[in-house]
Structure 1
Amino acid sequence: MPRALKPCSTPGCPELVRTGRCSTCTGQAEQQRGTAAQRGYGARHRRRFRTRVLQRNPLCVCVDTSHDHGTQCLRPSTVADHHPRSRRELEAAGLDPNDPAYGRGLCKGCHDRHTAAAQPGGWNQAR
């Protein structure tokens, strides 16, 4: 059964959508966000941080009791996550956010759950 239409989640936008934002507000938010390279996730990040973190942690290191197979996820890691500090916190402290020592390997599901809990307002809320 399709979801009922509701107003776009952007305050003040009257556009009706099934979920989240309308296409106009989504496009504006993406433009404001910038490209991955503009946010610091360019070639240097992939080469130095992501590759080394995923080599060190080929299996997801998330400790999550919601998984059927115990306390550690153990799915293949596909995301290099900054942990325990975020990329923004590392930059603010004058540390190198591309240093693999500040990362851990996670599967996409665990990374998405962690990000949703750590950044409850979404990426734009923290700015």
Structure 2
Amino acid sequence: MPSRPKPPCSRPGCEHTKPCPVHSREANRQRGSAAQRGYGQQHRDRFRRGVLDASPVCVLCRAAPATVADHWPKSRKQLVAEGLDPNEPSYGRGLCAPCHGKVTAANPAQRGGWYAG
């Protein structure tokens, strides 16, 4: 059975296929590492652990275990802009991965990838 052809690069005019060796490096360089964006050791040890300990079940569907610590009601960017500690667990809620994906996709300020617009 023949394999499916790789999709083209999302940059108009680029003849490479995904992952594009030119544009994927450029995007990663602009975005920075997870630690550079604020998701380093303190985030994992303090925020994520604190949120998931406080709400072990997804607060939206109440059916699945919480596996994602979501900044709520303000985003991490908003907390930083207001001079608040974004790693404070009281600024978060526990969500399952499907619910977190839905919430993130519905928020225009948080969309990423091809949907970032």
TM-score (norm 2): 0.79
The alpha carbon displacement at 1:14 in A equals 3.4
- Over the residues paired in the alignment, what is the CA RMSD in angstroms? 2.6
1:8 partner letter: C
Q: 1:4 offset after TM fit, Å?
A: 6.5
1:117 alignment partner AA: A
Which structure 2 residues correspond to residues 21-100 of structure 1 after superposition, within 5 A? 22-62=20-60, 72-100=61-89
Of 66, 91, 116, the residue aligned with 2:105 is 116
Give 1:118 deviation, angstroms: 1.1
Equivalent AA in structure 2 for residue 15 of structure 1: H
Stretches of structure 2 lacking an aligned partner (at least 5 in a row): none
Deviation of 1:60 after TM superposition, in Å, equals 0.7
Deviates more, 1:115-124 or 1:91-100: 115-124
Query: How far is the alpha carbon of 1:46 from its aligned partner?
Result: 1.1
Which deviates the most, 115-124 or 46-55? 115-124
- TM-score normalised over the length of structure 1: 0.74
Pair 1:73–1:9, CA change in 2 (3 A): farther
CA distance in 2, matches of 1:110, 1:15: 34
